[in-house]
Amino acid sequence: MSERENILELKNVVYSFHTYGGEVKAVRDVSYEVRQGEILGIVGESGCGKSVTAQCILRLNPEPPGFFEGGEILYKGQDVLKMSKKEIRKIRGREIGFVFQDPMTSLNPTMRVGAQIEEVFLGRTDVSKKEVKERAMDIMRLVGISDVEKRYKQYPHELSGGMKQRVMIAIALVSRPSVIICDEPTTSLDVTIEAQILDLLLELREKLGTSIIMITHDLGVISRLCDRVVVMYGGKIVEKGEIGEIFYNTAHPYTKGLMQSIAKLDTAKGEKLKPIEGTPPDLFAPPKGCPFAARCEYCMDVCEQLPPEAYTVADDHTTFCWLQHEMAPETDLKKATAKKGEV
């Protein structure tokens, strides 16, 4: 796994928004990488910065009010932040596709479905009109839209939620991008349709070797789909690594809390769910220490004062938590293998 090339790399990205209430520090020092052909999951609650980070990659956030305070985003070695608008437009939608959360509102209601898929090719001279139509139809078939000839001419309101989401995926896929960013693509769908869409994504990865960034708050979706996971909280990464490591060798209290708070199929009746008490931090004035300190059951003095350092727990598993420090007390989360520094 780890020999695979990094196709996308985020390094210490800091992103904020100017608002009337002050500056919202939405993303604070986030680094992760996406490898060729892998599915990377990004989990976190609403407002933790997972979508903003992903939108940064394509510079989709309105600027102003949004602005970069620092960091690098390398796509195939090139820094997206240093590109001109024109250069970004060449990547946006062509090399990196984006599937938005709400298929009901993110399609243009006044345009036929076919035209919306073909719009990606607008302004390109290397493909003929006929070819474009063929590619659009092919991709519609690939994502499992039945009756393509008819659907091609329909408007979004004539399609169901699942179909609209397929159209969204088709738009993201039509120019054969090397990365697709899916921002909660199944949240508004039913479980049976969700299962169909997840299977479709897995199949596309198999067939086309596309890398996928999957943003979600559903650990079920993560477990079914992803190879690696990034857990975010309060604008920061708290833990990242290979999926088995994150789920079975959890090293951060937030990740642990998240897993304990959901009702699983094998949760016994009498057993109480263990919610994470309290609410996420206010990002207008982010805590200076660990963002999770206020809600953490293991919280120590140092957690409130200093942002935690990175600790490597295993080959592909990094956590940002003071509990891994050699001087920290023994807890169930402290790993003997933990070493200071990132992988």
Partner 1 sequence: MENENKQPLVQVKDLCKYFQINRHATLKAVDHVSFDIHKGETVGLVGESGCGKSTTGRCMIRLYEPTEGEVIYDGKDITKLSKEEQKKFCQKVQMIFQNPYASLNPRMTVKEIVGEGIKHHGLADKDVDQKVEELLETVGLNKDHMSRFPHEFSGGQRQRIGIARALSVDPEFIICDEPISALDVSVQAQVINMLKELQETRGLTYLFIAHDLSVVKYISDRVVVMYLGTIVETAETEELYANPMHPYTKALLSAIPEADPDKAKNNKRIPIKGEIPSPINPKEGCRFAGRCQYATERCHQETPQAREVKPGHVVACHLMD
Which residues of this protein are in contact with partner 1, per CB under 8 A? Answer: 45-46, 146, 160-163, 190-196, 198-199, 217-224, 226, 243-244, 247, 257-259, 261-265, 267, 269, 272-277, 279
Nearer Cβ to partner 1 (91/321): 321
State how far Cα 279 lies from the chain centre. 22
Nearer Cβ to partner 1 (92/166): 166
- Token pair of 92 as six digits: 């946006």
Cα→Cα distances 22→25, 49, 234, 287, 310, Å = 10, 17, 17, 15, 29
Closest approach of partner 1 to the CB of residue 266, in Å: 9
Nearer Cβ to partner 1 (76/141): 141
**Angle at CA of residue 55, ends 49 and 61, nearest 5°:** 95
74 class by beta-carbon count within 10 Å (0-12 exposed, 13-18 middle, 19+ buried):
middle
Closest approach of partner 1 to the CB of residue 238, in Å: 13
Closest approach of partner 1 to the CB of residue 114, in Å: 20
Nearer Cβ to partner 1 (76/150): 150
- Token pair of 124 as six digits: 């390109």
Nearer Cβ to partner 1 (72/218): 218
Closest approach of partner 1 to the CB of residue 295, in Å: 8
Closest approach of partner 1 to the CB of residue 271, in Å: 8
Nearer Cβ to partner 1 (45/72): 45
Q: What residues contact 87, with CB distance under 8 A and at least 6 apart?
A: none
For 238, the 3-state DSSP assignment is: strand
Phi-psi region of 265 (alpha: psi -120 to 50; beta: other; left: phi over 0): alpha
Nearer Cβ to partner 1 (139/163): 163
Report whether 239 contacts 311 (CB < 8 A): no
Closest approach of partner 1 to the CB of residue 41, in Å: 10
Closest approach of partner 1 to the CB of residue 79, in Å: 33
Best CA proximity match to 116, nearest among 168, 58, 46: 168
H or E element that contains 85: helix 85-91
